[in-house]
Structure 1
Amino acid sequence: MPCRVAISLFLWLPRSWINDVFPLSLHRLAYVSSKASSGLPSPSPSPSSPSTAVSLKRVVIKELKVSDDESGMRLDRFLKYRFGRNGDDGSIEVPHSLIYKWLRKRQIRLLEYQEGFNNVSIKTKAITSVKTRTETGQIWLIRAALNDFTPKSASEPADIDPSHSAVNKQTRQRPLDALPLRAWIVYMDERIIVLNKPAGIAVQGGTGVASSIDSSLSVLQYDFSEKPRLVHRLDKTTSGLLVLARTRRVAQDLAKRFHEGSARLEAASGQGTTWNIRKKYLAIIESRQPLTLSSLESMGAWRGTNGLMTMGGDMVLIEQGNNQTIHMRSSIDDQGDIKPRITATWPSKTDFRILDQRSCGVEQNLHWALLELYPQTGRKHQLRIHCAELMRAPILGDRKYTLTIGRTESKSPLRIYLHLEEITLKVDTASDE
């Protein structure tokens, strides 16, 4: 009976007091309510508030303390990471829509300690911005309904009619097959794992993708507390080196550096600006004429250092109805008076060297050339577009970016002749590397 009285008195406190002054009491209230539902006698709901007892049983407070490795994470990513990790409560799926709902209803609070003259007071501060960054030692309180948390392993109810087409498609979907990632490892230390990705293998999942590297990363976890993370990607039709980060902090640093792109090649010898990441690709291109210095300069390329040539310009995103395509601005300007709608522009630059070229002997006036490509920026499909639209020599096998601007094929080939051969990382830019 005393337990019932305590709960009844607590319910008469203003909601602002419960939220701001008594977060730990609310935690105990949820605990007592859960105990009551498991066998202890519970109070009968009053006629004026018939749903009070039901809502009590569903209240839950999640307390999350930020570790050193989780410091600096954006709030939504921190919550998805912590709830998605296997722990005492199992792995829980928390969509972004639910996190936004918690923020909107001020259900995510940060525990704060304020030192007074003779004591230390504990208060909570409501957080409403998803861009808030975490700090080591912070304690976050998430007040939510128990049914907000759905385990990832939860299956469809057995009484659902399997003849329904949508349900049938979801419940009978073939599980993803794990790829033999361990056989593709070319380098591994306590910070990164480097794979030699074959052509035809998707890095991330999508429509019609049976298996991907992202869905198979658990086989590379070994004795670490979490599986490796992707920090960059390669097209499905491209082969070569793929770097994985083994901790969250290393992933954060490498992802930023890959996004910023590679700096100039001559920095490796101490000249020019410093570099963080340098990538070297090998590519086979096809052209209607041999590539000479004069022909390349007429196409806008210019001489660099260390025997390299440089090409570049603005890449633009074009909207045509519901379709979006990426091209060089110079190629669009050559199309005549009809100007498409450009929604974004990015500068791009690539260094290259011709290693060898010869006539293919199959078709008259068709030549193949072997190139080394060093991207200085990391734009989407940058190398493919630069070769096709600046050099007028598309990469062999590429059906999307050809000499005909805007031409695409509905069926992609198994591979294009583009291979990421070498990645150089400057490991002294972060203490964690």
Structure 2
Amino acid sequence: MSKDVRQFIVQADDDGIRLDRWFKRHLPDANFNLVSRWARTGQLRVDGARATPGDRVAAGQTIRVPPADAPKPGVSKPKIVRRKLSEDELDFAESMVIYKDEQAFVLNKPPGLATQGGTKTTEHVDGLLGALQYENEGRPKLVHRLDKDTSGALLIARTSRAAAYFSKHFSGRSAKKLYWALVVGVPDIEDGMIDLPIAKQPGTGGEKMHVDTKEGQPARTRYRMIEQAGNRCAWVELQPLTGRTHQLRVHMAAIGHPIVGDGKYGLQDAFLTGGISRKMHLHARRIRIDHPDGDGEKIDVTADLPEHFAESMKTLGFDVALGDASDALDDRPPLSREQKKSIAKAHAKSVRKERRGERRGRGERTGPRDAKKK
């Protein structure tokens, strides 16, 4: 066994990625549990400072790794063997693609599908990316995540260069993400900022987060109410300004308005009656990020709502057009109350017109019967 501590310089292709992802790429024999143990005992360091698996690394930094068993002469590292995808899985992966170019995909991830695998999680986006390799030699790469029960826009890099570029923008917060959510009750402030630090909740094994003003990491969320259904429910636009685990869910629950269907943080208060789905109503509606090819071009993609969310919007009388008319990623200012009313009236007028057309159509079909009666 080698007694030498190993040191690695972070390369440009790995700029901005999480430390655990760095190990997965370059030292796959060091599994997550081993890396976590090194971190807990202070043996894992980046530029001399103690590090955790969730920390992000930058090009040029030095990663200090404890000694490990030296590889046996003539024995190469085993290659990761991925199972062959079925025709249904190939079709499903294709169906999620809502944007594609030479550097990236954007998927519309459905609720209930995990982004990455883990304990007892065998079905996930990462496992389907082989279906989207097409003519490229390398496999597409995840650059950020969505919770299993959160739907919507998920950016996928098609090359290592694009992955490094996107990771840097996500870690630098220049990538913009906009979420839609239905929340229980109506916030007192229509357009506000939630600035509450977040940490892992003790006793949950890191599976649950909570607001912790002493030990938590800074977390900021901008929210804006779009519409409300009486005092029962509000449709809000959420923009995370930091990237903490479960940030939007923790923040909305912390101000007394849990996301509809989020029993983990809202408990029983997170569910509405009247035929509203018990699934979580949190959707990554839009993502905007600079394109790796430069020249000021941007990837700017909007993801349609999943079926249960769209049905709840319809049941509660919310009009999707209001959310898209002006959002936080646009340069235009948010709509005023009068502008919202004008859009709502125009929408109601068009609906009434459609219904009159339907009634006329039914009348035309019954005309011959009336003639016979005469």
| TM-score between both structures, scaled by the size of structure 2 | 0.55
Give 2:216's aligned residue.
345
Which of residues 184, 191, 194 is equivalent to 1:286? 184
Cα gap change, 1:254 to 1:144, in 2 (>3 Å): same
- Aligned-pair distance for 1:198? 0.8
Kindly provide the CA deviation profile for residues 376-406 of structure 1, in whole angstroms up to 9, marking residues without a partner as x: 111111110111012x01000001111799x
2:263 counterpart SS class: coil
Give 1:358's aligned residue.
229
* Amino acid across the alignment from 1:394: P
* Amino acid across the alignment from 1:387: M
Q: Is contact 1:388–1:403 with CA below 8 Å preserved after alignment? A: no
Give 1:184's aligned residue.
96
Which of residues 148, 151, 173 is equivalent to 1:236? 148
Cα gap change, 1:278 to 1:388, in 2 (>3 Å): same
Q: Is contact 2:195–2:220 with CA below 8 Å preserved after alignment? A: yes
Structure 1 residues without counterparts, runs of 5 or longer: 1-67, 83-92, 101-128, 133-141, 155-173, 262-275, 297-307, 331-341, 360-365, 406-412
Greater share of strand: 1
Kindly provide the CA deviation profile for residues 22-53 of structure 1, in whole angstroms up to 9, marking residues without a partner as x: xxxxxxxxxxxxxxxxxxxxxxxxxxxxxxxx
User: Structure 2: how far apart are the matches of 1:176 and 1:428?
Assistant: 30
User: Structure 2: how far apart are the matches of 1:277 and 1:73?
Assistant: 13
Give 1:394's aligned residue.
258
* Amino acid across the alignment from 1:203: T
Cα gap change, 1:417 to 1:78, in 2 (>3 Å): closer
1:421 counterpart SS class: strand
* Amino acid across the alignment from 1:367: R
Structure 1 residue 417 corresponds to structure 2 residue 313: no
- Aligned-pair distance for 1:94? 5.5
User: Structure 1: how far apart are the matches of 2:192 and 2:16?
Assistant: 40
Give 2:74's aligned residue.
146
User: Structure 2: how far apart are the matches of 1:211 and 1:355?
Assistant: 34
Give 2:30's aligned residue.
96
2:238 counterpart SS class: strand
User: Structure 2: how far apart are the matches of 1:309 and 1:196?
Assistant: 28
Q: Identical aligned pairs, as a percentage?
A: 32
Structure 1 residue 313 corresponds to structure 2 residue 247: no
Q: Is contact 2:222–2:239 with CA below 8 Å preserved after alignment? A: yes
User: Structure 2: how far apart are the matches of 1:292 and 1:241?
Assistant: 29
Kindly provide the CA deviation profile for residues 174-199 of structure 1, in whole angstroms up to 9, marking residues without a partner as x: 98763511111111111110011111
Q: Is contact 1:356–1:371 with CA below 8 Å preserved after alignment? A: yes
Structure 2 residues without counterparts, runs of 5 or longer: 1-10, 36-61, 270-276, 298-374
User: Structure 1: how far apart are the matches of 2:241 and 2:14?
Assistant: 31
Alignment of 1:218-237 (within 5 A): 218-237=130-149
What is the count of residue pairs matched by the alignment? Answer: 244
1:320 counterpart SS class: coil
* Amino acid across the alignment from 1:277: A
Which of residues 193, 199, 206 is equivalent to 2:111? 199
1:388 counterpart SS class: helix
Kindly provide the CA deviation profile for residues 236-269 of structure 1, in whole angstroms up to 9, marking residues without a partner as x: 10100000011112111212322343xxxxxxxx
User: Structure 2: how far apart are the matches of 1:255 and 1:403?
Assistant: 34
Kindly provide the CA deviation profile for residues 40-87 of structure 1, in whole angstroms up to 9, marking residues without a partner as x: xxxxxxxxxxxxxxxxxxxxxxxxxxxx986979999899758xxxxx
- Aligned-pair distance for 1:326? 1.7
Give 1:277's aligned residue.
175
Give 1:326's aligned residue.
209
Q: Is contact 2:16–2:164 with CA below 8 Å preserved after alignment? A: no
Q: Is contact 1:69–1:248 with CA below 8 Å preserved after alignment? A: no
User: Structure 2: how far apart are the matches of 1:354 and 1:418?
Assistant: 14
Q: Which has the larger radius of gyration?
A: 1
Alignment of 1:46-61 (within 5 A): none
| TM-score between both structures, scaled by the size of structure 1 | 0.48
